[in-house]
Structure 1
């Protein structure tokens, strides 16, 4: 389990050649809250983002993400949601199913091999983070992502 912020910027390597393919720049998240892939920036001067299906990753290491074949990268299509790019979830209001405001989404905790999000790091703002610290909301159940808010079934706060 790791947060996206730890994965962001990690190099993606091809295992057969040892060649660096690019760097992880974002997560692709389905409407039911499952990580279905990574967005990988590739290129030297004109970097482009590509989609890498989570199932095509052979391993998630401490210092790199390993794939078997450079052909696993696909042209970026219209993703459902991402943390930072198109249809961004970063900073969205999170509400519990009972209607309680939990804060704003800052990061996600997920199981890399399964693509399952198991926790959400939320913030109430910079000063609140300094005085109270960031909070992690755990939820094993799928969430609902709407235009205005993310609804989650809360286990622990």
Structure 2
């Protein structure tokens, strides 16, 4: 299990020639299938270009690197139609409101947790601001189904709301002010 922010900056290595081909810049999320559709990389030596690698073309994600089988798996950005179902994590998802069905604010998306072998989105790290995060800790919203994304908000059901893991970390817990 990894967060998308963990893999930003990872090197891209092609297993067919063992050469460095760029580094991870962003992730493409597919809200219909609730998974990472691919990763966006900074590609090239002198003139950097943004390219994309389909998640199915990734052989392995290991410590500080993403290994792909062939150089041909690095494709131009125009192959992905960015819309409400395919979004770039850094541009479209960070800071998005997460609300319950009754429109009450639960937090804002800080990061995306995914399973590195399948690319399935496992959950979101929610924030309520840096001071609240430091004192109370962050919240984790587990995902187990399609994500309802409309009007620049993610709407979750009452059942999903009950599954939120609250106060992960934080000074309050560290100092044992909360039992």
* 1:73-126 per-position Cα deviation (integer Å, ceiling 9, x unaligned): 1100233201113xx111110113343321110101101222211110011111
- Residue aligning to 1:57: 58
- Residue aligning to 2:170: none
- Residue aligning to 2:88: 82
Unaligned runs of 5+ in 2: 165-179
User: What is the 5 A alignment of 1:2-151?
Assistant: 2-32=2-32, 33-77=34-78, 78-79=81-82, 80-85=86-91, 88-151=92-155
Unaligned runs of 5+ in 1: none
Return the alpha-carbon distance in structure 2 between the equivalents of residues 146 and 50 of structure 1: 27
Bigger share in helix: 2
- Residue aligning to 1:156: 163
Query: What is the aligned-residue RMSD (CA, Å)?
Result: 1.5
Higher-Rg structure is 2
- Asked if the contact 1:139/1:152 (under 8 Å) is kept, the reply is no
> Residue 131 of structure 1: SS of its match in structure 2?
helix
- Asked if the contact 1:54/1:113 (under 8 Å) is kept, the reply is no
- Asked if the contact 2:26/2:88 (under 8 Å) is kept, the reply is yes
Per mean C-alpha deviation after superposition, the further-off stretch among 91-100 and 67-76 is 91-100
- Asked if the contact 2:59/2:67 (under 8 Å) is kept, the reply is yes
Return the alpha-carbon distance in structure 2 between the equivalents of residues 49 and 91 of structure 1: 23
Return the alpha-carbon distance in structure 2 between the equivalents of residues 118 and 98 of structure 1: 23
Deviation at 1:43, TM superposition (A): 2.0
Return the alpha-carbon distance in structure 2 between the equivalents of residues 102 and 49 of structure 1: 34
- Asked if the contact 2:96/2:152 (under 8 Å) is kept, the reply is yes
Deviation at 1:145, TM superposition (A): 1.5
> Residue 84 of structure 1: SS of its match in structure 2?
helix
